[in-house]
Amino acid sequence: MREVEIYCRNTHMTHTYPMGTSLLEISKDLNIKLHNQVCGAIVNHQVKELSFCVVKPKHIEFIDFTHPDGVRMYIRSLVFVLYAAVKEVFPHVAFKVQNGISNGYFCELQGLEREISDSDIFSIKQEMNALIEADIPFVKKGIITSHAVDLLAKQGLEDKAQLFEQQGRMYSYLYFLNDLGDYFYGNLLPSTGYISNYGLVPYFDGLLLQVPRRKHFKKLHKVVYNDKLFEIFQEQKDWAEILNVSTIGSLNDFALQNRSGDIIKISEALHEKKIAEIANQISARGNGTKVVLVAGPSASGKTTFSKRLGVQLAVNGMRPYQVSLDDYFVDREHTPKDERGEYDFEALEAIDIEFFNHQLIALFEGKEVRLPKFDFHSGKRMENGRTLKLEKDDILIVEGIHGMNPGLLTDVKEQNTFKIFISALTQISVDEHTHISTADNRLLRRMIRDSRYRGYRAADTIKRWPSVRKGEEKNIFPYQENADIMFNSATIYELAVLKKYAEPILKTVLENQPEYTESTRLLEFLSYFKPISDVEIPPTSLLREFLGGSSFAY
């Protein structure tokens, strides 16, 4: 019998196995012990299920729930089990995963036509637990695409069926849990028995599927009612209904019919209307509002939003002045460091709070101040020669990640501020059971901008992204509900536009680079979109901040 050689990163050793040995068999033979149960593996920097059989020499790293791809495998499998349970308890109800919120996933039972009761949740959980205890395997089968489309349609999964039809493939893969078929963008766990912790609770008018904490698997995240965030998610849902686009499949239909221009025009008009409404709210407050704070995570479009808001405030007779919190960084040698000893530019302490507040108070008192400019090359703050003095109808727009943090404005009264939180909350889903992560949307934006304007490769952006996300979770998202209003900078059409720009950049990541795992995942994700041209995107669009062609100066 022929044998193949594998290098296991977990054991730091080379091992030999008969050709066709599965990853599950190898993990058991090597007695791989991780923080949690082994759920998959990274094989030559590609994610594989434990059923994958080795027939060539491979570089293998077994992963568990502490790995981002292990988390994704767990969540997909958990959603499948929840879908199967809902299908059993409520055969005629459509189960849909809408968006991520409160460190979980908001789900709807469409067609229930009444409020979800505690007994409903008890029945669903009881069915889920029975499926988990039975340890039923998730079976992946390749079948003729037309048969897969028919099967999905019969189960009421019209969005999945539509996407399968559009791909134009002879054969497609479906996962089966007993006789129930489904498809997920990515890999699953070997069986239902691998799911050992989850939660299911009422949340607004639906359900919140709770998942374990990544570093403390036996604990679930605390349920937080993000009222303002949920409201903006509902607004995006309304916008999707206005455009009749809620999934990749329905967006693809517009592209295939050469009607993408309609989507672009309406999406941009909805943005302009919303920004005008926010400007009207600020104006209605009168001269008491001295400073508008605009905050949000990386690649959310804060800069362009601030400029467009300034235009709308000017329409209302106000004179806006733009200020960036980045110019108030402390000198490099005074920047705090993280636990790895690296500069933590996203910590609040990286901002000279005292100096920032001193200048604000001086401006509010009618004094003239010399505005600073931070030189990122030298790591020093200096004067840029620009002075500012606020008159009666003047207003400051301050853009920076810490705008919602109560520790930023130590000397400014709350009634003198208006806070806006901005993020790119993706408005469409892949299908009924697969939402699109807002973080993926922002990563693609940032990758394109980094490549076009900062000289960074895709691998560089991907490598930095976990650190960026960690900073956001610590310094930005905990304060988002402090906003007076939230704004969604994403557009329904944008991922189909980003596809053309992102794919060539992602393909520069080589197989021997660790970032290949993520680039491959993103390329697979983008493959579902039919491309949309950016020709009709106006020069004032928030998307132009990343693609280029903006009429604003940055």
Q: Residue 16: its pLDDT value, please?
A: 96
What topology is assigned to 3-64 in CATH?
Ubiquitin-like (UB roll) (3.10.20)
CB 513 within 8 A of CB 552: no
Please report the pLDDT score of residue 124 as a whole number: 98
Output the pTM of the full model.
Answer: 0.93
Phi, psi angles (nearest 5°) of residue 291: -140, 135
Closest alpha carbon to 222 in 231, 210, 232: 210
Backbone angles phi, psi at 25, to 5 degrees: -65, -40
For residue 100, give the amino acid letter.
G
As beta bridge partners, residue 387 has 370
Task: Look up residue 441 and give its two tokens.
Answer: 């949307």
Each domain of the chain, given as residue ranges in start order, spans 3-64, 69-210, 227-547
Q: In angstroms, rounded to a whole number, what is the distance separating the alpha carbons of residues 220 and 217? A: 7
Q: What pLDDT sits at residue 386?
A: 86
441 touches 315 (CB < 8 A)? no
The two tokens of residue 87 are 């299908």
Asked if 144 and 170 count as a contact pair (C-beta separation under 8 A), the reply is yes
Classify domain 69-210 at the CATH superfamily level. Answer: Threonyl-trna Synthetase; Chain A, domain 2 (3.30.980.10)
Q: What's the length of the chain?
A: 554
Domains 3-64 and 227-547 alike in fold: no
Using CB atoms within 10 A of its CB, is residue 540 exposed (0-12), middle (13-18) or buried (19+)?
middle
Q: Are strands 13-18 and 369-375 parallel, antiparallel or unpaired?
A: unpaired
What confidence score (pLDDT) does residue 377 get? 83
| 3-class state of residue 394 by DSSP | strand
Rg (CA), the chain: 25
Evaluate the CA torsion angle 313, 314, 319, 322 in order and state its sign. positive
Q: Are residues 206 and 435 in contact, defined by beta-carbon separation less than 8 angstroms?
A: no
Bridge partners of 59?
7
3-state secondary structure of 156: coil
Return the pLDDT at 203. 95
Tell me, which fold does domain 227-547 have in CATH?
Answer: Rossmann fold (3.40.50)
Predicted local distance difference test score (pLDDT) of residue 432 = 95
State the 10-residue block means of pLDDT for the chain, 554 residues long. Answer: 93 96 96 95 97 96 96 97 98 94 94 93 98 97 96 96 94 96 94 97 95 93 90 85 89 94 94 97 88 96 96 95 93 87 87 95 93 89 86 92 94 92 92 94 96 93 93 93 95 96 98 96 97 96 96 89
Share in percent of the chain as helix, strand, coil (round to 5): 40, 25, 35
> How would you classify the pairing of strands 180-182 and 53-54?
unpaired
Contact 536, 261 (CB under 8 A): yes
